[in-house]
Structure 1
C-alpha cells in the first residue's frame, strides 16, 4: 500500500519544507488543497514552487475547484506543470461546496457540475494538440503525459463519481474507510460499464494528527476553523480525526481490504515532524 501526504493549510512559509522532506521519504504523492476565500496560497502557483524543490514525489491538487477557472488557461497551466515536473503532476478536480468561492470570482454555483463537464471537454482538446476551433490554433505546450496529466476526481454523489470513468484516471475518496466501500465499488462498476481498460486508480484519504497533544489540538482547531461554515460537519470531522499510530494503521489496512491502491494522510497541523512519524507506517 502506497502512502501519500496532504499538506496543512496554515503556515505558507513551511510548505516548501514539507515538500522537500516528503520527497526524501517513502511517500508516493503530496497533495495541496484549493480555496479562494481562505488564507491559503494559490494552488497552481504553489505546486509550481514545490515542483522546483522536489525530484521524485508526485505532486497533486486536491481538489482544484475547476469551475472557478477558465479552462484553456487551466489546461495550459496543467501542461506546463506536467512538463516542469517530468510527468509528476496529478490534477485532482472537483466542483466545490462553498458558495462564497464562486461569488468571489463571479461564477455560477448552481451549474458548477455542468460547467466542469464543459471544461473537461475543452481541456482534453487542448492537451490533444488539436486546434481549439477553425479560428484558433493549438494551445501549447503539449503535456509530457499522453492525453494530459493524471486526472483524479474527488466526489461523493453517483453522478459526480461517473466522471472518473468518463474523463479520468482515478478516484480520490476523502472519507473514513467504513463510509468508502460503496463509493469505491460504484466507481469500479462505472469504469467497467464504460468499457475502460484496466481499472481506476482508487485512493483513500483520511485526516490525521500524529504527535504530542499540542499537534493534535492544533489540527482539530484548524479543521474546526476551515469547516466553520458547517459547524456540525466540522465537529464530527474533528472528532473522527485519527490521532494514534494504531488507528492510522487500522484505517490503512481497511482501505487495503476495500481494494484501494493508495492512502493519503491529510495533515492539519504545521508540525512538520509528522512527516517522519507517519513515514514509519509505510510498508
Structure 2
C-alpha cells in the first residue's frame, strides 16, 4: 500500500523539513491543498520548492481549484513543475465549494464546473504540444510525462466522478469513511468501463490525521474547525480526526480492502515530528 502525507498549512516555514523527512521515510507522495481566500501557501509555488528538496516522492495538489486560474498560465505552470520534478507531479483537480474564492478570482461560482471542463480540453492540448487555440500557438515547456502530468479528480457530485473517465487518470476521495468511499470508487470504475477506457482508474483515499501530545491534537482540531467552518460539517470533520496509531493502521487497512491504491494522511498540525510518528505507527 502506498501512503502519502498531506502537508499542514499553518506554518509554511516547516514544509522543507516535512519534505526531507518524508523523502527518507516510507511515504510515496506529498500533497498540499488549495484555497485562495485563506491563510495557506500557494500549492504550485510550494510544491516547486519541495521538488528541489526531494528526488523520490511524488508531489500532489489535493485539490487544485483550477477554475480560479488562468488556463494558459496554469498549463505552463503545471508542465514546468512536471518537467522540473522529472515527472513526479500528480495534479489533483476540483472545482471547490467556497463562493468567496470564486469572487476573489473574478469567476462565476455557478459556472465553475463548466469552466473546468473547458480548461481540461485546453490543458490536454497544451500538454500534447498542440496550439493553445484562438490564434495562440503551443505553450512550452513540454512536461516530462508524455501527454501531461497524472490528473486525478476530487469531489462527490456525479459530474466530478464523470470527469475521471473523460479527462483523468484517477479519483481522490476525501473526508469519508471507507464504506461510503467504496460506493464512490465503484461509481468511478463503472464510468471508466462505460467510457471504454483501458486499464483501471487510480483510486486515492484521504483521511485526516494528527499524532502527538494532547496540545498538538487540540491545535489540529482547531485547524480543522476553522478550515471547514463554511461547510456546516466542521464538528463532524474535527470529530473524525485520527489520533491514535491503532486507528491509523485500521483506517489504512479498511481503505486497502475497498480498493484504494494510495492513502493520503492529511496532517493538521505543523510539528514535523509527526512524520516520524506516522512512519512508526505504520511500521
Whether the aligned pair in 1 keeps the contact of 2:72 and 2:132 (CA below 8 Å) is no
Determine the C-alpha separation between the residues in 2 that align with 1:211 and 1:130: 50
Cα separation, 2, equivalents of 1:21 and 1:83: 23
Q: Which residue of 1 aligns with 2:12?
A: 12
Q: CA deviation at 1:242?
A: 1.1
**Which residue of the partner structure matches residue 200 of structure 1?**
201
Matches of 1:30 and 1:156, distance apart in 2: 22
Unaligned stretches of 5+ residues in structure 1: none
- Residue 52 (structure 1) aligned with residue 31 (structure 2): no
**How many residues are paired up?**
282
On the 8 A contact 1:3/1:282 being kept in 2, the answer is no
Q: Which residue of 2 aligns with 1:66?
A: 66
**Helix, strand or coil for the counterpart of 1:102?**
helix
The residue that corresponds to 2:31 in the other structure is 31
Report 1:1-283 matches (<5 A): 1-133=1-133, 135-174=135-174, 175-230=176-231, 232-282=232-282
Look up the SS of the partner of 2:200 in the other structure.
coil
- C-alpha contact 1:76 1:140 (8 A) present in aligned 2: yes
- Give the unaligned 5+ runs of structure 2: none
- Whether the 8 Å contact between 1:176 and 1:205 is mirrored in structure 2 is no
Deviations 1:224-267 (A, max 9, x none): 1111223x400010011111111111111111110111101010
1:9 positional shift: 1.2
CA distance in structure 2 between the aligned counterparts of 1:172 and 1:141, rounded to whole angstroms: 27
Separation in structure 2 between the aligned mates of residue 23 and residue 124 of structure 1, nearest angstrom: 30
Partner SS for 2:152:
strand
What TM-score does the superposition give when structure 1 sets the normalisation length?
Answer: 0.97
Confirm or deny: 8 A CA contact 2:152 2:169 kept in the other structure.
yes
- SS of 2:147's equivalent in the other structure is coil
Shift of 1:178: 2.5
Q: Secondary structure at the match of 1:75?
A: helix
Cα distance between partner residues in 1 of 2:220 and 2:13 = 17
CA distances 1:145-168 after superposition (whole Å, capped 9, x unpaired): 011001011111122111111111
User: In the TM superposition, what is the alpha-carbon distance from 1:191 to its structure 2 partner?
Assistant: 0.6
Segments ≥4 residues shifted beyond 6 Å: none
For residue 274 of structure 1, give the secondary structure of its aligned residue in structure 2.
helix
Shift of 1:190: 0.6
CA shift for structure 1 position 18:
1.0
1:63 Cα deviation from its structure 2 partner: 0.4
Q: Distance in 1 between matches of 2:133 and 2:241?
A: 48
**Helix, strand or coil at the partner of 1:139:** coil
